[in-house]
Structure 1
């Protein structure tokens, strides 16, 4: 006599104490090994390593062990003149002291360059000392930070005051600011989130569960980033992203799982059966949701920017850990808690059993929309498109000192350089010329090349192995660091601009320098302006592939989940539509500078080159997250009733409160990072993600989704016969008929056939 084997319950149900113990041990180990991950991360990562500018930087670093000065000391004379003998003597002494240090590969100043005019302010009361530290980017940033501490509020024998700036010093301060902002954001976000969770769940115990899963996901991701940083560069800005996304997704997934568990308890099931049924329904939804979010983040790996790749590493890790926490660790905790999940109750929210008909506010909203789908969908679409219009005027740039808040030391120095000096000493272009002997047979050719470059519009000075040139005239002084600018078979020139380097004028200067006939083939042009031009081109070149990858992976995952051709297409189109409002708002606010005083940032007329694609990818992934939540419940109702209208209304009613709560909670997390963030592009990230989540939850899910599903009717779940057969064989079922199976903790082994 054959029997149907009972359904084996998940390991979390059969061994809850083991799972809980392993999770606790994992949390402790990850905290111990990954707690200092910020020390292993790097700043920057906004340039394309495959570009000409990156190749130039590599040659300069490897062949010449140097590069353009990236630390600037601003010396302000006490008596008003940097040409006073005592000030000049102090300036020379400071320059010589720095040049004698082993970690300094280049040090020069106004006084050691024959009083070169670009190194003196227009009023004559300030002058510059320029230097570059040895080592890679992280080492230079660390040394710039140490120099800032050493020279903080220091004067030179009472005759002058010294402050530290330059891009290495700027990003050293950015790193410190990011770390302090992260702590402040957590202090703000966690209590607010806990309060909202208590209100939503009505129980203190239930409210603590999402935070526990969030903590596990975040700390685990810190360890993952520590390991990845041992193999490749990982941006320090990924830390804020890890905390925000880890907490947000943990809240989303835990809300869904705990809510379903409480529904199963309300249906009369015992805790172990309720958890098993929860894992087989809400747990599957969480897995598919995690796949859609992770698949979007994979597209960031297409780009060569370390900044974007770091967000992919962090995002994929935190999504995976949030999913494991929600479908493995959380069920084990629920088994251990049993009915005590509702302990410490502050209010009793209404919980309905699965399959029970309800007609609450979300049901009424869905029915209202489906009675007038065309006008409501038309109005919503037009509003979103109108809000997205400003994005047509987007300008892309690199972060500079203005990403720091007003009053930051290095920003104040940079502002003085910008307004009181005719050149941009910290942003020189590096022009690498191979196969030449600059100090021998090719000296005349290099001199002519440097002379011509110095006459270009936007050039303040050119420093070469054969001397310094201003306006086509060689300065009557030998460069102290001339020996570092050439080898026997190569040389490089430093082209100091007098235009804002991170601007259209800076990009034009790069084009002009590259257009000048060089004395050899294979010339490479690098530096901040060149990195900006090359990075924008690299972004444009790889964007189609990234978008195609997102679309294809999303389509495949949703088709395998729901067996529908129309549903993935509809989801992709609606998510793209919802993102138009977010991207348009970011240009209108952060590029054009509206509300900058209220929000505490300085608009530069451009968005950081990597931020639009980062916002797009992450917001798209989170939109798909909510899409899966809603569609899986609609599909469950469709499978149960076959009613195309009622299934949409019931699905929205079942998920409306959860999706709205999840959106509000994750918005609180992101807006906390936006409010507390002092670095402007991280502030943009926080506010941008907040807007994206709220627009998706309150506009797209409540109007466009029910409207389009009403218009499609039964075609929502249609697929051609070949694809239907493929799904039946290889697809995943979002809804299972749990009542067909008996669920036991340890099902008996089936007897072996005697003939075997």
Structure 2
């Protein structure tokens, strides 16, 4: 109360404080975009594939596979000289331990040069130097894993700028229409404060735990979206209180005690849902989870600080004339739904189940060169290797054999190499190479995609052979990393899903005191998530709208995308559910009958949730402008999930189910109710909530 009084009494001084914070956050946190990792994070630390790389690097001081690959044009008569010149130039780049010819195209028009990096080298710096040294040579195209990582980092920054250019004008226009007049300043101010405040927080986190650069897109999209959600909800409630109490401190206090408390619950549900991604060991998922949880908390804090300042500054100027929302279109829709709740619930759920069905046939594929935009040098080299060289220049399956006794290691490596060479899919005999220190390396050439089914089968067979022989062998390569990723997801998924459900239900129970409403929320959220995941399967796995969206389909979905999308859509679905349940609970506690409370709650929030969903879909749907396909997928799926939740779930399914269950919506065991009375937080406010004048018939008899 003391803080609210201060903000209301001295809004200009408080606004100056917010401005200074934003400037400081921008100055300190702004550079975080260039400090985050732009590659890796998809394999779990400590997995066999990761330890194999570490074993080889420790023995040789070199990375196990080429990080730089040059595609050299070889005109007739100058081919050898061009390759020799490119090899010599690449070898002189700092961080390149060795450079060598990697084979020629069958038609003789080009050749490959591969460069191996020193293990201690900064791959990004090496890639930058390699790109720069060949920048003026039109006959050489620079690619490889290090260059792909570099280009992805640059692409993320370009995508952020593009998303801002696309989203901000649209959001400003929509905010003017939805918020009205000077009130449109509120979501933009809170949005900027949220994004820069989150950047500041992530700068600190990155000093302790290295975050992925891909999280920046989530921060901007989700930060702007939640800023709009929270400020719109607060402003709508404040306008109601202006009509009741006028531009007084009481109006602001009532707003913050009711809508402000709901914002806190909403932020908690979003934060805990995204934080469950931390349960997975992959750095990419941890980064997304941490960043998403932080942005939810910062968005709520910014909204709860900036909104009272704006209320105190402009007061009555924020008022908007209009009829009682509780007696409007959404109120009538709610009563219409509750006339036949069973039919509406079954029809809506069936429709959503059909839309979610494509997700059941999702095929998992790893992050590969197709995520690099067409036309980028790394993509050009990768496509050329695939189409003209049959995969030459990569080693899909690498085995690192070690033993305390050098002779034992040599024998084990020789035996394993001999057995592995006869495995299905291996196209040539492999000889072990002594790396020194009791470590031997065996490189298996495998047909097909480096992480495809053949390569994955070889990895599994090699691991079985090593276990059967008692050989200390670790397997590296794209296929091994993908298998390790799948195993890590399978091991962590039950814990993450359990936490997601339990924490969400806990927050909703604290808010409502009911055990039924949290269960229903989880079920409805699961349907919404299914629709979103079905959409990206139908589009990206099946290769639809490739020209429109500018991506290359690889016939599947990257599995961490499914997890991030599921957590994000689940979180935002709960977010809107909290808004609606808060108003229904308030109306019910004010003494309205069950169905009337539902209708009034939907009447009060229907237009708010719809407008917020449209604005959030624009903010986070800006991901779809990204040239990195798996970021596109997150944006498209989340936008679809948000809109489905607003237009189907909140409009039809929620009132139908609440109408069916009546007072049983609020049921809880007596002992749990007593616990809630002690630890739960009530939404009750001493403000009369009157039933709407329409319809004339008592809603409980409909």
Correspondent of 1:458 among 401, 425, 429:
425
Contact 1:217 1:325 in 2 (8 A): yes
Correspondent of 1:592 among 542, 553, 557:
542
Post-superposition offset of 1:315:
0.9
Question: Structure 2: how far apart are the matches of 1:8 and 1:681?
Answer: 43
Question: Structure 2: how far apart are the matches of 1:529 and 1:672?
Answer: 32
Correspondent of 1:65 among 51, 61, 66:
61
Post-superposition offset of 1:22:
2.8
Contact 1:502 1:532 in 2 (8 A): yes
Correspondent of 1:166 among 130, 144, 148:
144
Correspondent of 2:300 among 323, 334, 342:
323
Contact 2:446 2:454 in 1 (8 A): no
Match of 2:462 in 1: 513
- 5+ long unaligned stretches in structure 1: 1-5, 111-118, 156-160, 343-347, 467-484, 741-756
Matched, 1:410 2:373: no
Per-residue CA deviation, residues 645-697 of structure 1 (Å, 9 max, x unaligned), is 100011000000000000000011122221x2111111111111010000100
Summarize the alignment of residues 687-702 of structure 1 with structure 2, pairs less than 5 Å apart. Answer: 687-702=636-651
Question: Structure 1: how far apart are the matches of 2:317 and 2:347?
Answer: 46
Question: Structure 1: how far apart are the matches of 2:88 and 2:172?
Answer: 57
Question: Structure 1: how far apart are the matches of 2:25 and 2:554?
Answer: 40
Correspondent of 2:361 among 356, 376, 393:
393
Matched, 1:570 2:520: yes
Contact 1:425 1:496 in 2 (8 A): no
Q: What is the aligned-residue RMSD (CA, Å)?
A: 2.3
Secondary structure in 2 matching 1:430: strand
Contact 2:326 2:599 in 1 (8 A): no
Matched, 1:734 2:666: no
Question: Structure 2: how far apart are the matches of 1:10 and 1:454?
Answer: 77
Matched, 1:659 2:637: no
Matched, 1:22 2:26: no
Question: Structure 1: how far apart are the matches of 2:172 and 2:522?
Answer: 33
Correspondent of 1:680 among 629, 640, 647:
629
Contact 1:615 1:689 in 2 (8 A): yes
**Cα distance 1:210–1:365, how it changes in 2: closer, same or farther (>3 A)?**
same
Secondary structure in 1 matching 2:326: coil
Q: Which has the larger displacement, 10-19 or 553-562?
A: 10-19
Post-superposition offset of 1:449:
4.1
Matched, 1:213 2:213: no
**Cα distance 1:9–1:187, how it changes in 2: closer, same or farther (>3 A)?**
closer
Contact 1:68 1:428 in 2 (8 A): no
Contact 1:424 1:496 in 2 (8 A): no
**Cα distance 1:520–1:266, how it changes in 2: closer, same or farther (>3 A)?**
same
Post-superposition offset of 1:168:
1.8
Match of 1:554 in 2: 504
Post-superposition offset of 1:145:
3.2
Summarize the alignment of residues 314-713 of structure 1 with structure 2, pairs less than 5 Å apart. Answer: 314-341=291-318, 350=322, 352=324, 358-435=326-403, 443=410, 446-447=413-414, 449-459=416-426, 466=433, 486-517=435-466, 521-674=471-624, 676-713=625-662
Per-residue CA deviation, residues 715-737 of structure 1 (Å, 9 max, x unaligned), is 11122211111111110012222
Question: Structure 2: how far apart are the matches of 1:460 and 1:31?
Answer: 55
Contact 1:74 1:129 in 2 (8 A): yes
Match of 1:128 in 2: 112
Post-superposition offset of 1:441:
7.9
**Cα distance 1:55–1:351, how it changes in 2: closer, same or farther (>3 A)?**
farther
Summarize the alignment of residues 171-250 of structure 1 with structure 2, pairs less than 5 Å apart. Answer: 171-203=149-181, 205-250=182-227
Instruction: Please identify the structure whose Cα radius of gyration is greater.
Output: 1
Contact 2:326 2:601 in 1 (8 A): no
Contact 2:72 2:86 in 1 (8 A): no
State the TM-score, normalizing by the size of structure 2: 0.93
Contact 1:590 1:684 in 2 (8 A): yes
Post-superposition offset of 1:593:
0.9
Post-superposition offset of 1:214:
0.6
Q: Which has the larger displacement, 718-727 or 444-453?
A: 444-453
Question: Structure 1: how far apart are the matches of 2:2 and 2:143?
Answer: 66
Post-superposition offset of 1:281:
0.8
Q: Which has the larger displacement, 69-78 or 209-218?
A: 69-78
Contact 1:70 1:427 in 2 (8 A): no
**Cα distance 1:136–1:561, how it changes in 2: closer, same or farther (>3 A)?**
farther
Match of 1:114 in 2: none
Post-superposition offset of 1:36:
1.1
Post-superposition offset of 1:539:
0.6
Secondary structure in 2 matching 1:715: helix
Figure out how many residues of one structure are paired with residues of the other and give that number: 686
**Cα distance 1:101–1:444, how it changes in 2: closer, same or farther (>3 A)?**
farther
Summarize the alignment of residues 28-43 of structure 1 with structure 2, pairs less than 5 Å apart. Answer: 28-43=23-38
Secondary structure in 1 matching 2:590: helix
Post-superposition offset of 1:424:
4.2
Secondary structure in 1 matching 2:437: coil
Post-superposition offset of 1:361:
0.7
Secondary structure in 2 matching 1:431: strand
Question: Structure 2: how far apart are the matches of 1:703 and 1:457?
Answer: 55
Contact 2:463 2:475 in 1 (8 A): yes
Q: Which has the larger displacement, 547-556 or 330-339?
A: 330-339
Question: Structure 1: how far apart are the matches of 2:387 and 2:204?
Answer: 44
Match of 1:311 in 2: 288
**Cα distance 1:603–1:406, how it changes in 2: closer, same or farther (>3 A)?**
same
Contact 1:167 1:400 in 2 (8 A): no
**Cα distance 1:98–1:462, how it changes in 2: closer, same or farther (>3 A)?**
farther
Secondary structure in 2 matching 1:398: coil
Match of 1:49 in 2: 45
Post-superposition offset of 1:556:
0.9
Match of 1:753 in 2: none
Question: Structure 1: how far apart are the matches of 2:302 and 2:196?
Answer: 12
Contact 1:373 1:710 in 2 (8 A): yes
Per-residue CA deviation, residues 362-419 of structure 1 (Å, 9 max, x unaligned), is 0111011000011111111111111111111111122222113322222121111001
Contact 2:466 2:473 in 1 (8 A): no
**Cα distance 1:23–1:38, how it changes in 2: closer, same or farther (>3 A)?**
same
Secondary structure in 1 matching 2:449: coil
Match of 1:746 in 2: none
Post-superposition offset of 1:101:
4.2
Post-superposition offset of 1:226:
1.6
Question: Structure 1: how far apart are the matches of 2:98 and 2:11?
Answer: 62
Question: Structure 1: how far apart are the matches of 2:538 and 2:371?
Answer: 17
Question: Structure 1: how far apart are the matches of 2:91 and 2:415?
Answer: 29
Post-superposition offset of 1:176:
1.1
Post-superposition offset of 1:10:
5.1
